[in-house]
Structure 1
């Protein structure tokens, strides 16, 4: 079960597609965070979703907001995926301990070994203000994230 709106977002420290450590705490007091979990790089629905975010990046990566996309892929896989798809925002690896961040947010599918499509809008104080969790095959609508951000 995904964590509830109104609760403090679980902290994490994950490597991005360039090997840099990114912590949720890095954005505390400075930026709202759109934390997007997705199953796997190079899959159809994931590539489409992340490409749509790339095409609208200024709406999700700006002075007030940071987009962080998380999968259980290795940083090496994410590096190639990010380069191939021209993704400029951080792609975070929840590879080891496998799925630890996805589990903390309640969006890890134990049978499949990956995250389901969970998105969390976290305010500058680190509180979850909005969430949506979709099945592996169901794409999310980024306009919903924008509506949630507008309420902050």
Structure 2
């Protein structure tokens, strides 16, 4: 798993059928990547709902959050609509798990992303990372602490 100080690997993933998100387009902004196993699972649903509630706090630190899983963009769109999410979910779908693998958080045994968080600074360096047990919602405290540290610089 990538650690503090590592350069965040660039990627290009679909958020919708006709919208791709490139990490490099967010240089100059803090980025939060929330890797998670699957849409619709109870823990993932709670975790993404929490981040949806935290958007105003993330915005305060000039941070954009993205959820990332190996589900397709069609699955993400249905999940976003059902859960009324207001941030993009990115499909690490094909080649399956390529971005999760680049960040060191792909679970080969089950074919899903592990539950992991990364805060990437405005220069594209990882400022904080955390690997959570798959059955545990990691919450937002670590993210907010990392953003607060970046804000002090």
Range class of TM-score, shorter chain: over 0.9
Q: Distance in 2 between matches of 1:74 and 1:86?
A: 18
Per the alignment, residue 119 of structure 1 pairs with 117
Structure-1-length-normalised TM-score = 0.95
Note the residue ranges of structure 2 that are not aligned, 5 or more in a row.
Answer: none
Per the alignment, residue 9 of structure 1 pairs with 8
Alignment length (residue pairs) = 150
CA RMSD of aligned residues (A): 1.2
Structure-2-length-normalised TM-score = 0.94
More deviation, 105-114/53-62: 53-62
1:95 and 2:78 aligned = no
Note the residue ranges of structure 1 that are not aligned, 5 or more in a row.
Answer: none
Deviations 1:69-105 (A, max 9, x none): 1000000000000000000101000000000000000
1:58 and 2:56 aligned = yes
Q: Distance in 2 between matches of 1:17 and 1:111?
A: 28
Give the direction of change, closer, same or farther, for the CA distance of 1:148–1:114 in structure 2 (3 Å limit). same
How far apart are residue 18 of structure 1 and its match? 5.4
Q: Distance in 1 between matches of 2:32 and 2:129?
A: 10
Q: Distance in 1 between matches of 2:17 and 2:81?
A: 11
Q: Do the aligned partners of 2:7 and 2:124 also contact (CA within 8 Å) in 1?
A: yes
Q: Distance in 2 between matches of 1:45 and 1:150?
A: 26
Runs of 4+ residues deviating >6 angstroms: none
Q: Distance in 1 between matches of 2:146 and 2:18?
A: 30
